Structure 1
């Protein structure tokens, strides 16, 4: 990639970085992406996919498979801490997971595909909404328009702090953990603080649930039996000294390597809640949000990415374990031969979702080059 082209793509990344929009509200980001794609004359441009999703289709000269390259549009509801001139212009929001860099990498492919269409099949560039909540991929797939671009192969990347910029890593099998947020609502009976015996307090239940839930999943090796429960929020009663509380909530994130282990962990957590609430005389309800299925790389798709990384000059480190964090890209693996690779964003880069994270522009050429090589290897 020439310095001039990288400078142009860097300007795009910085413009995107300034307008982070949270999951489901990516209207301006999607419009900016669609405007840029139109400059590179796709054979078809779909907008409004599963919300604010955008897809550009480049047709080959002969019949062949459909290859989808996917990135994410959304930012995070986190205040950015930065003195960069392109820092977020939206208070309380930031591109602190690197999706602005992912968008830029996939947008770069449009110029290459416009200059030289695939030899066969179709290349689809998908800019997906709402990845951070786990709802976007499912919404895109459920959109009737998705049938027009249903892929045979699907590829994505995620930047990886701790790995040198431009280096790559890849695994066969589980790539990202399953996770979901469990919200437990406890209901007893309020009373005067001078007469707590006349109420039913959730205090005892909370004191048992907090350590009990953690004990169900303590982490460890990322094998099939891996389970991790992270307490994220707890609230009891009203902020008043005169009331003995009657309501409480506990939030926890459940995390496993496999979907089967997730089903088991949910059953274990629900059983614990049921037993504790029965002993404490409480009613309860449970809800689940931020639901992510496990993301599993298909072996054939892994081989495509492995060859593409090598051909692009960024040979992949092969790893035998997944990332702990989750990704809704796994939904595409139910539709196609799919795989994700990890692209280094720097050995000293802050962790994803940190308020001072900033995607490194120097990683753009590697990501774009690998995706383009994968497309050419499959479609010519």
Structure 2
């Protein structure tokens, strides 16, 4: 763990995380969380603070005296619409909302990084700490990048971490190449005609179309090993007609999540799914409409960025365990990789720790200092190497 944060720093960062945990905000409604972040950043004296970025995003800029590359470290602002069930003293005070993915811990980590950068600016280039809005619904990264002010702080390098239960506490997972799958939700609405339940032939029911589509869609994406060509279709919601015994239904709704390892494969899966749905609707005389939601792009770890993180993990004495990447789960970090050399590592929350999005999940406070140490070292290494010759860089 980094020795640059004092015990007082760590205690204050834990208290900051607990305050965030008590008051989670949902995606695109992170006004209060953003204000708390800005207040926590002010004592570190950033050269610039951008607020309202892509919604409620916050970016803090720490400028070195000599021009150089821009290195961005990113975390997330939002919580989840899940009722927390734990009995911890700092549990959520807002019914139906909880920081049950660890974004409160990620924010505390970046505030810790801000303390180090405020006390000792980069010698060249600049560091940008991004507190991204709306990660949980996949809309935040695109909104941040589309904000005209992002061009003024656009990174050459981008790093992030995510805690991960199932990995030993304080260990890490990292590898170059695919890291997180692309995914998107497809909401399907069918419209036919109701009839009396004694005369179903007088109506147009979606029942048979729905019964046929559920297994057929699943066959388009059977899952399996997370390797090139991976496709997974998950039925997440189905509803048909009214809860009445006397009515043959005239409408239905089906929600599915589509998942692929690569963005290009997602295009093909979406096309296959839409064509299948349209054929079934037509065969049963149904009108159909479809809409896409929660669009997440694939995340790919750049080899050079991964190398910097790996060296930082090794230097900080963090064990790197194999077998956890790529993940089926999605993460709204992939778009930054189209703008910069980017990489994300997973930081172990404990093998028996409650899983992400579980109602009793809580971020391990012990990870805050660990994350600060790794990210600070990687950031410094990138900026310091910007001034070295190719021969010096090769000798690292």
Among candidates 28, 32, 35, match of residue 28 of structure 1: 32
* 1:64 partner SS: strand
| 1:295 aligned residue | 299
| 2:149 aligned residue | 145
- 1:367 and 2:376 correspond: no
Aligned-partner Cα distance in 1 for 2:350–2:89: 21
Residue 318 of structure 1: CA displacement? 5.1
8 A contact 1:168–1:314 mirrored in 2: yes
Aligned-partner Cα distance in 2 for 1:347–1:64: 40
| 1:228 aligned residue | 232
Aligned-partner Cα distance in 2 for 1:7–1:115: 18
| 1:314 aligned residue | 318
- 1:83 and 2:92 correspond: no
8 A contact 1:76–1:94 mirrored in 2: yes
Aligned-partner Cα distance in 2 for 1:200–1:278: 12
| 1:286 aligned residue | 290
Aligned-partner Cα distance in 2 for 1:312–1:377: 13
Aligned-partner Cα distance in 2 for 1:2–1:116: 15
Report Cα offsets for 1:210-251 as digits up to 9, x if no partner: 111111112111111111111100010112222211110100
- 1:122 and 2:126 correspond: yes
> Gaps spanning 5+ residues in structure 2: where?
385-396
Aligned-partner Cα distance in 1 for 2:306–2:120: 25
TM-score of the superposition, structure 1-length normalised?
0.98
Aligned-partner Cα distance in 2 for 1:72–1:102: 7
Q: Which deviates the most, 83-92 or 241-250?
A: 241-250
Q: Which deviates the most, 235-244 or 107-116?
A: 235-244
Aligned-partner Cα distance in 2 for 1:141–1:112: 26
Q: Which deviates the most, 315-324 or 366-375?
A: 315-324
RMSD of aligned Cα (Å): 1.1
Aligned-partner Cα distance in 2 for 1:320–1:249: 35
| 2:269 aligned residue | 265
Aligned-partner Cα distance in 2 for 1:37–1:140: 19
Report Cα offsets for 1:71-121 as digits up to 9, x if no partner: 000000000011111000000000000000000001101110111000000
Residue 270 of structure 1: CA displacement? 1.3
* 1:241 partner SS: coil
| 2:41 aligned residue | 37
Q: Which deviates the most, 3-12 or 33-42?
A: 3-12
Residue 3 of structure 1: CA displacement? 3.0
- How many residues in Structure 1 have an aligned counterpart in Structure 2? 380
Among candidates 155, 161, 167, match of residue 165 of structure 2: 161
- 1:324 and 2:328 correspond: yes
CA 1:162–1:318 in structure 2 vs 1: closer, same or farther (change >3 Å)?
A: closer
Residue 376 of structure 1: CA displacement? 1.1
8 A contact 2:174–2:325 mirrored in 1: no
Q: Which deviates the most, 115-124 or 193-202?
A: 193-202
TM-score of the superposition, structure 2-length normalised?
0.94
| 1:15 aligned residue | 19
Q: Which deviates the most, 306-315 or 346-355?
A: 306-315
Aligned-partner Cα distance in 1 for 2:98–2:214: 31
Among candidates 110, 114, 118, match of residue 110 of structure 1: 114
8 A contact 1:183–1:287 mirrored in 2: yes
Aligned-partner Cα distance in 1 for 2:322–2:124: 30
* 1:289 partner SS: strand
